[in-house]
């Protein structure tokens, strides 16, 4: 179509006027370039969406959610607060539908605390209100959060990722206790250290 009426009068074009067919060819080439860029960007989005679908919220540390209770760091006897050789404490928690295990955690005040959490099933959330501790707990990954509590206090720990029908009932507690009280809690039959 460009041929027929590109120069209807058959006169030479004035200086500086580009013939229509050249304009059309250039536009077509740029259109192809744009479509190619679009295709590349769509491919990047789709491929990364499929291969990196899960974005763990903190350190990328993987764990097999199916064998949590059988071996490794998150076996039942290893859960809760553990004192490290340097005096800091590590708190290991499993989030599962619909509770945190353990459901109540004690940590000493003015001590470096490292939380390590993972999920046995769905994506859960770990939040200590009025602090900046807030992480997703994704099955297959270990979420790690480090902090230090400067005052004795009790915290509610709600799960804040919708994880199923029992989500709204998924709560746990954390108690920050004075250092001299930490570590000398006599286990009382039928009561956890967190009950008041
Ligand atoms: Cu677990 Cu919501």
For atom 1 of ligand 1, the residue with the nearest CA is: 124
Classify strands 89-96 and 99-101 as parallel, antiparallel or unpaired.
antiparallel
- Report the relative pairing of strands 124-127 and 99-101 from DSSP bridges: unpaired
Examine the pLDDT at 188 and tell me if it is beyond 70: no
Report residue 182's pLDDT band, with 50, 70 and 90 as the boundaries.
confident
Per-residue model confidence (pLDDT) at position 2: 46
Nearest-atom number in ligand 1 for the CA of 162 is 2
pLDDT digits (tens, 9 = 90+) for 125-164: 999 988 889 999 999 889 999 999 999 989 988 999 999 9
Ligand 1: residues whose CB is within 6 Å?
95, 98, 124, 159, 161-163, 167, 170
Ligand 1 atom, smallest distance to 166 CA: 2
CA of 135 to the centre of ligand 1 (A): 12
The structure's pTM equals: 0.66
Distance 157 CA to ligand 1 centre (A): 11
The predicted-structure confidence for 33-82, as pLDDT tens digits, reads as follows: 999 999 999 999 998 888 766 655 556 788 888 888 888 888 888 888 88
Is pLDDT at 190 greater than 50 in this prediction? no
Find the 143 Cα to ligand 1 centroid distance in Å.
15
Q: Is 184 exposed, middle or buried (0-12, 13-18, 19+ CB in 10 A)?
A: exposed
- pLDDT > 80? residue 11: no
Q: How far is the CA of 147 from the centre of ligand 1 (A)?
A: 22
């Amino acid at each position: 179509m460009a041929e027929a009426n590109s120069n209807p009068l058959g006169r030479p074009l004035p200086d500086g006027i580009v013939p229509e067919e050249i304009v059309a060819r250039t536009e077509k080439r740029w259109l192809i370039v744009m479509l190619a860029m679009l295709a590349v960007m769509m491919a990047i989005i789709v491929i990364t969406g499929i291969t990196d679908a899960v974005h763990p919220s903190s350190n990328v540390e993987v764990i097999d959610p199916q064998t949590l209770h059988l071996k490794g760091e998150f076996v039942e006897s290893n859960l809760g607060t553990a004192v490290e050789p340097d005096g800091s404490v590590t708190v290991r928690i499993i989030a599962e539908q619909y509770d945190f295990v353990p459901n109540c955690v004690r940590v000493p005040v003015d001590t470096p605390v490292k939380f390590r959490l993972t999920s046995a099933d769905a994506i859960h959330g770990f939040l200590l209100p009025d602090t900046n501790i807030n992480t997703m707990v994704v099955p297959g990954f270990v979420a790690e959060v480090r902090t230090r509590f400067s005052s004795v206090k009790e915290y509610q720990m709600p799960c804040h990722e919708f994880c199923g029908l029992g989500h709204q009932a998924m709560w746990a507690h954390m108690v920050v206790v004075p250092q001299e009280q930490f570590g000398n809690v006599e286990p009382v039959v039928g009561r956890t250290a967190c009950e008041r």
